[in-house]
Amino acid sequence: MKLTDILILRLFLLSSLILILNACAVEPVAKVIPNNRDNRIPFTGQLRDDWNFTDIEIKSLQFYVHDSVLLSRQMTEGSKSIVKGKLVLRSGKLIDEIELPSGTPGLAIRVKTDRLYICFEGDCTATLTFGCPDLCGSKYGSLAKWNDGRGKIRYGGEIYWMEPSTYIEIDKNALAKVKRNRRIIKGKRLYEQ
């Protein structure tokens, strides 16, 4: 075998190997969804009524927190649990902080007439409650007990201070994905038996 034949054979084998490895390359499964605030609208009691959403439909919507929110609580000396927050030492006190940046996506895992329990992380054992307590047409806001610009709210079994108040939004394009099967009933008269 000549030297040129050996070089051609090696080049052929190398090219084949590259083609095989390229064919086996795996495409990423996750697709990054752009975070476009311009397409979002507040989730309101009026919107819920107008669309007559079922609980299943609400659970299939992607929600977003409108404003950046900080949850914080002071840790006592016996406290051992921290709910996926960060521990900060301030003036000799341990503070557990959880930040939800504006636009953080969440899912409704529990639906009631006047409120939604939205999960923003992990196994959904921790939720924030949003609602319209007087069944109004206004935005579904955080249902904290407010005092001097801070609200007390439960998250992951612990009581946190929330700053500031916020509300939830949905992507208005999601409304086009809600399927409706509607028919108009003419009614039934006595003589139509």
Q: Per mean pLDDT, which of 24-28, 34-38, 108-112, 181-185 is the most reliable?
A: 108-112
Q: Where are the domains of the chain?
A: 37-176
pLDDT of residue 70: 93
pLDDT at 83 over 70: no
pLDDT of residue 50: 86
| pLDDT tens string 89-138 | 555 678 888 999 999 999 999 999 889 999 999 889 999 999 986 656 68
pLDDT of residue 180: 58
| pLDDT tens string 61-75 | 999 999 999 999 887
pLDDT of residue 29: 34
Q: Which of 17-21, 38-42, 69-73, 126-130 has the lowest mean pLDDT?
A: 17-21
CB-based contacts of 8: which residues, under 8 Å, 6+ apart? Answer: none
| pLDDT tens string 134-186 | 656 689 999 999 888 889 999 998 999 999 989 999 998 888 766 655 567 77
pLDDT at 28 over 70: no
**Residue 4 pLDDT grade (very low, low, confident, very high; cuts 50, 70, 90):** confident
SS (H, E, C) the chain: CCHHHHHHHHHHHHHHHHHHHHHCCCCCCCCCCCCCHHHEEECEHHHHHHHCCCHHHHHCCEEEECCCEEEEEECCCCCCCCCCCEEEEECCEEEEEEEECCCCEEEEEEECCCEEEEECCCCCCCEEEEECCCCCCCECEECCEEECCEEEEEECCEEEEEECCCEEEEEHHHHHHCCCCCCCCCCCCCCCC
